[in-house]
Structures are given as C-alpha cells and as structure tokens.
Copies of this chain bind each other. A is one copy, B any other.
Amino acid sequence: MSAAEVVATYLVETYLPLEQAAEAIAGEQSTGTFTAVARDTPELRERFAARVLSVEELPPTGNPDLPGTTRSRDAVKRSARVRIAFGLDNFGPSLPNLLAAVAGNLFELRQLAGIRLLDLDLPAPFAQRYPGPQYGVRGTRELLDRPDGVLLGTIVKPSIGLPPEELRLVVRELAEAGIDFIKDDELMGNPPHSPLADRVAVVTEELDKAAARTGRRPMYAFNITDDLDRMAANHDLVHAAGGTCVMVCVNLVGFSALAWLRERCVLPIHGHRAMTGVYTRVPQLGIDYIAWSKLARLAGADHLHTNGLSNKFYETDEEVLRSITAVRTPLLGGYETLPVLSSGQTPGLAPETYRRTNTTDLLVLAGGGIHGHPSGPSAGVTAMRAAWSAATSGTDLTTAANQVPALQEALNKFGSPYDGGRDGRG
C-alpha cells in the first residue's frame, strides 16, 4: 500500500462546530453513509477514511449562505480553511476519480453554508499517469522564435460568421503586422458556413506567405473543440496542413477529454476557460481557479486563459493576478503552462500588467483592442507592441505614443484604464 495522498484545501462555512463540518466532508467523501452499516469496521475506516489535517478559522467572509443550509437557532456561522487528506489508494491517480473524492457530492451537503475547493496537492503518481503540457512556455517561444518579450496575440473578430475568404484577409493583415499569435473565437467551431478544413486551408496558406515575406510565422490556434472523435480528427487535420496550435475549451469537453486528446496530440494545446465562471463566480461555492488550473495543466494545457487586468468580466485585478500566479507556479516538478491574458485588453494596460506580474512570460490577447483600432488591425498590432515595449523598458506610454502614431490613436480611443481615461468597455 502506497502512502501517497491527495490533500484538498477547502473554504468551509458552517453553523456547525467547524471540526464537525470538516468531519462531515471527510465522511461523505470516503467511508461514510447516514447510518451505521454492516462490515464498516474501525480497521476499514482507519485505512480508507479521509483525514482532516487542519481547520484554520478565518474572519467572517460576508458570503451569503448556500440554499438549504442547516442552521440551528442562535448558531453563528464560522468560516475556515480546511485541509483534508485522501489516500490515493482509494481511487488511484485518475482525474475523474479524483474529482469524485475531492468534489463529488460535497457541494450538496446541507451542513455547509459555503464549500469551495481552493487547492489540490497532487502526489507524484499523477505525474506518472499524465504527461502534462507538451510545450508550455519554452516550447511555445521556440515555435514562435520569440525567446523573450511578451507574446502578443489576437482573436479573429467578428467572432463568428466571417467567410473563409474574409478570414484570409484578416490573417494576412495581422501576420504582416508582426503578430505572434491568432486564435479562433471559442464560439467558432466547425460550422457549415465556415468549415474548419476551409479555415485551415486559407489560414495556413496566408501564414506560409507571411513567413516567406517576413521570416516569421505566427501561431494560429484553431478551435478544435467538438465531440471527441471529431476533436481528434480536427487536430489531425490542423497538423497535416502545417498548423502549429489547436485550441480546446477545457470545460466544454472536460478534463479527461483534454487528457485523452493530449495523448494523441502533437501540437500545443491552447486551453480556453469558457464556462469557468460557473465554478468560480460565487466565492462560497465551487472550485477556485487555483485548483481548476492545476487539473487543466495536469490534463495537458500548454496555454491557459486567466483573464487580463481590467477585463470586461466580473473578476477583479487581484483575482486575475492570483490566476496568473497560479498558472506560473511550478506543478509536479515542472509542468509549465503559459498564462493567456484576454478580455478588454488594450495598449493602455501594458504598463500596469507588466508592473504587477513582473514577467513577459505572458500571451496577451487583444481582440477588440486590435480589430477596433481606428486605423485597422495592423495599426492595432503596432500599438500593442509599442505599448509593451515601452512598459518593459520603463518608458512612459505618453512618451512612447509621441513616437508611434498608432499607439497614440489607440490611447485616444481606448484610453489608459489606470489613469482614468478608459472608455468603450461594456
């Protein structure tokens, strides 16, 4: 019997004594049922029961109670950070079976007024089962021939509806402008009006032409998200045509489907986080991005969306920075994933993003921020590049904009969110 354990960290909020609530979680998620049953021996519990490692009380969170919470009269809600160890022998190093143990029915327990899986410590056998990211930061930089500096990308806009021949023009313009990375919108799959095979054909042709002219071939992440056999076939199609990246919406196929693809995949996997909000938005429920991103990285995501500062979604900058740190934190002795900053990203955000992340190991995507540039996408790329160049060299954006008219135009239109000049969000 191996001594390997998974340690799950939870936010627990309850009207019960904290230790009792912690034991309820450990029981529900291992050997317990609601009444004593035959063959349930102390020896069996000793070997298989999950163990509460620590209960660290926290200040009141102010979170609303989950519906259906048990509360006795006069009881006071308390909150704690609870760590629970699950013997790996209970389920083996399998992502779906891990989820049964550390999540499972937990979110339905009436004893809990709040229950959120915050973090997971995974033992070495997971690394033996799951190879993790194939390219990560270094592999992506090598493919792009960008050994340093921020990686700059965009999303094809409009999100859907663009015929392949118009997509060709968009890609041509972006590639000529020196962008590093282009991706399909997550809403663009393999629809009849713009089949993936047609998109792959026109895009790779344009990238090849750009490479011949400029010496640099941008990476294009084709959204291959689909039912699994189709997703694998989509990957093969992209690879056969000379594509260098595929995008998968992690939650829409599931962690185990991502891991399944990873085993068949020779291209970097750009992991989109669509639907993560259902896990993360309510702080008293769900799965925190820190735990979520570990599962996605384990399953093989080379790139992982974190949102960006001042994004158009609900997350605060502090939450975004925490997600970026999470993705960059070493996992299982080396699994390396590139954080992808997106949503409402404009040149004005570069200095603050660099100041607060202190790294250029970032893939920064500007969709509207590039396509909506007053002088067109090419000027949008120039403006983003100039802004990041200024940010990393410590040059003031206003000074840089004096030298780069495209940057000045972008700042005029999108503003600089950190000096109060921003508009156009919403």
Contacts and interface: CB of A to CB of B under 8 A. Distances in A.
Interface of A: 1-2, 29-40, 44-45, 47-48, 64, 66-69, 89-92, 94-97, 99-101, 103-111, 129, 157-162, 166, 170, 186-187, 189-193, 225-231, 249, 251-257, 259-260, 263, 274-279, 281-283, 285-287, 312-316, 344, 367-369, 371-372, 376-377, 414, 424-426
Contact of A158 (B40, B160, B229): B40
B254 A104 contact: no
Nearest to A229: B260
A225 B103 CA distance: 15
Contact of A90 (B38, B106, B191): B191
Chain B CB count within 10 A is highest, among A104, A108, A314, A377, for A108
A274 B100 contact: yes
A227 B100 contact: no
Nearest to A311: B108
Contacts of A251: 99
Contacts of A376: 38
Chain B CB count within 10 A is highest, among A68, A227, A368, for A227
Contact of A67 (B2, B99, B282): B282
A187 B2 CA distance: 18
Contacts of A96: 189, 225-227, 231, 249, 252-253
A34 B425 contact: yes
A273 to B, nearest CB: 9
A250 to B, nearest CB: 10
Nearest to A110: B314
B94 A226 contact: yes
Nearest to A426: B34
A77 B201 CA distance: 48
Nearest to A157: B37
A196 to B, nearest CB: 11
Contacts of A107: 275, 277-278, 281
A110 B40 CA distance: 49
Contact of A109 (B68, B187, B314): B314
Given A104-B187, A254-B257, A285-B281, A33 B372 contact: yes
Contacts of A315: 68, 108
6 contacts: A33-B367, A90-B161, A96-B226, A105-B186, A108-B314, A278-B286
Contact of A157 (B33, B94, B255, B377): B33
A29 to B, nearest CB: 7
